[in-house]
Amino acid sequence: MRQTYALIIPALNEAESIGMLVRQIPRGIFAQVIVVDNGSQDQTAVVSTAAGAQVVSEPRRGYGQACWTGIQHVQDSVTAIAFMDADFADDPEDLVKMLQRFDEDKWDMVLGSRVMRNPEPGSLTSLQRFGNWLSTRLIAMIWHVRFTDLGPMRVVRRDSLALLDLRDRTFGWTVEMQARAAQLRLRVCEVPAHYHRRVHGRSKISGTVLGSFRAGVRILWTILRCCILPLRP
């Protein structure tokens, strides 16, 4: 089946990078490019609109909350949803490759893995690498599905996304998607993706010890919760 794609970009104070990012997204492959402005205090919304994105405002803070709100604005005709960060650390060209893989029609979810090829030095901290390793090991031990990364870039069938019943509205969003997909035995593949250091703006997560710690705790808690609480039938 030919898919119709929407792209959701959660953004918090990314005015310096979001315009360039939206402009680099190849035209015509997405029915919608949605930037969810999560209460930015800078010009994120204005710059995104000027670059041609549809801007949705979500004042309730949280990475997962922004992604969730984006999903609520996807048109009925869309059959698969892609996600990407707003800081230009990912490469829009990789997204195209991921959609090509998705078009094979064999997959429910295609993930961009930042560690399958060499990420730019300094783009992934040692703590992030360790966190990825630990989380993916835990998922493999519990559900016997192997991932290499919890990266932000991914494409998922809309009907599969609904089955996952995602609850986390913060930084557990990506790992919950993978843990639940493993639990449901969805067909998931990883594609190598480039990863760059952010050039503009400030890192809100891995750039500080507190941010990394918070995200790490949230990620581990989310895996535990997925393990303890079954999905509703």
List residues binding Mg ion (CB under 5 A). 87, 89
- Binding span for ligand GDP by CB under 6 A among 49-57, 136-144, 177-185, 198-206: 198-206
In the set 8, 30, 62, 109, which binds ligand GDP (CB under 6 A)? 62
Question: Which residues are CB-neighbours of 130 under 8 A, at least 6 positions away?
Answer: none
Binding-site partner at residue 12 among Mg ion, ligand GDP, none, CB < 5 to 8 Å by type: ligand GDP
Tell which residue, 99, 97, 222, has the closest CA to residue 171: 222
226's tokens: 């997925």
Of the two residues 4 and 206, which places its CB atom closer to Mg ion in the complex?
206
In the set 8, 21, 85, 98, which binds ligand GDP (CB under 6 A)? 85
Binding-site partner at residue 138 among ligand GDP, Mg ion, none, CB < 5 to 8 Å by type: none
In the set 203, 214, 220, 227, which binds ligand GDP (CB under 6 A)? 203
Binding-site partner at residue 206 among Mg ion, ligand GDP, none, CB < 5 to 8 Å by type: ligand GDP
Of the two residues 61 and 137, which places its CB atom closer to ligand GDP in the complex?
61
Question: Which residues are CB-neighbours of 224 under 8 A, at least 6 positions away?
Answer: none
Binding-site partner at residue 204 among ligand GDP, Mg ion, none, CB < 5 to 8 Å by type: ligand GDP
Query: Min. distance of Cβ 206 from Mg ion in angstroms?
Result: 7
Q: Which residues pair with 163 in a beta bridge?
A: none
Of the two residues 157 and 198, which places its CB atom closer to ligand GDP in the complex?
198
- Binding span for ligand GDP by CB under 6 A among 75-83, 153-161, 204-212, 218-226: 204-212
Phi, psi of 181 (to 5 degrees): -65, -40
Whole-Å CA distances, 174 to 8, 45, 48, 59 = 13, 24, 23, 20
Query: Min. distance of Cβ 202 from ligand GDP in angstroms?
Result: 7
Residue 158, CB-side half-sphere exposure with 13 Å CA sphere? 18
Q: Please give the residues from 4 up to 23 whose contact with ligand GDP meets the rule CB under 6 A.
A: 10-12, 14
Of the two residues 134 and 205, which places its CB atom closer to ligand GDP in the complex?
205
Tell the burial category of 77 from Cβ atoms under 10 Å away from its Cβ (0-12, 13-18, 19+). exposed
Question: Which segments of the chain does DSSP mark as H helices, in order?
Answer: 15-24, 44-51, 63-72, 92-102, 126-143, 158-164, 173-183, 209-228
Tell which residue, 26, 156, 190, has the closest CA to residue 78: 156
Instruction: Please report, as ranges, the residues that interact with ligand GDP according to CB under 6 A.
Output: 10-12, 14, 38, 61-63, 66, 85-87, 89, 198, 203-207
